[in-house]
Amino acid sequence: MRRAILFLEDGFWLEGESFTIRGETIGEVVFNTSMSGYEEILTDPSYRGQIVCMSYPLIGNYGISGSDIESRRVQVEGFIVRENSQIYSNFQAKKSLSDYLRQNKILALEHIDTRALVRHLRLKGLLKGIISTEDFNFNSLRNKLAKAPSIVGRDLVRLVSCRQVHEWREDWPQLKFERKHTVAVIDCGIKHSILRFLKSYFEKVVVFPYESELKDVLRINPQAILFSNGPGDPQAVEPAIELAGKIISGLRQGSLKLAVMGICLGHQILGLALGGKSRKLKFGHHGGNHPVKDLATGKIDITAQNHNFIVDTQDLSDKDVVQTHINLYDNTPEGLRHRRLPLFSVQFHPEAGPGPFDAQYIFSGFRKMTDKIFAK
């Protein structure tokens, strides 16, 4: 154990101990309300640029299995828990949480008053923070934070998107559906569990870098396109917004025939391409317990969420774009669809890794939309 400090840009600080490595790390500090699923959270590309605090007090008690990772590496900038379990028990576990973070060179704190930190972030909003085992001088820490870039206006997707086009072949063995069609995935920070669900419904899943040109995507003759989740400010992801705009234009003109879906950041990208405006939430949505209402049916799903920004579509000039879902915690928009075009998106995570399974029907809805287009 090594003495460590968490210092926020507004001067709030807490002292704890590092249970992994020495050093410093800087990021936007967010809290996650899930009681489990730390393996998925740590490897979710949507957390790039952020230090994650788990609000549940005991973390690490089932170890690391390796089967629940959501990307090729640990993505968080730092990790904060109230207590790191010294004992882990799980028949799938291969190593402890502390060993996993240490091997991936992630600075992680425990013995922090996480209740105080979560309350502060809820009152003040998200703040940049620094974790250090080397520097305990407040003026020095404040200067380091002042020089660190904000997430706003920063394209973090370039750090997590794939570099080359590739086909995804792994599915969920327990899901047995007839697989048809080819879906192109625009990788803004795609999670492995989303790809597994897509492969369970589609015959071929091909993943493209977010900077891909439309002509390159169309070369595989896709029947569907999905814009994935990812980190940071959607307004900064200009290549994906431009690509989405060209696809929407092709659908309107009738030169393209395919289904389009967006998840989380992908939802925001489609909303911006349709003319919506993005804004940052005070402390974001991070957790596996967000109630979302389907405005068409009145059904309420408990959903997994991970985003700091939303897109307002109410003032769009295109009145064929309608809001489909709403978050019952704060009444923020959670989904949209187009009345005339085969296009829809959701702000929440239907793959729910980690989280509840309520919204997994979204994937079958995407497949049914694709079937309907090509049944004609």
Residues with a catalytic annotation lie at 264, 349, 351
**Which residues make beta-bridge pairs with 183?**
205, 224
Q: For residue 169, what are the contacts with CB-CB under 8 A and spacing of at least 6?
A: 199, 205
Give the span between the Cα atoms of 328 and 297, in whole angstroms.
15
3-state secondary structure (DSSP) of residue 164: coil
**What is the crossing angle of helices 238-253 and 265-273, to 10°?**
60
Question: How many residues does the structure list for the chain?
Answer: 376
The structure tokens listed for 142 are 């404040």
CB distance 349 to 305 below 8 Å: yes
Helix (H) / strand (E) element for 172: namely: none
**Which residues make beta-bridge pairs with 343?**
260
145 secondary structure, DSSP code: H
CB distance 311 to 276 below 8 Å: yes
Q: What are phi and psi of 252, to 5 degrees?
A: -65, -40
85 secondary structure, DSSP code: -
Q: How far is CA 134 from CA 5, 6, 10, 81, 324, in A?
A: 9, 12, 20, 20, 49
Q: How far is CA 8 from CA 46, 244, 279, in A?
A: 21, 37, 22
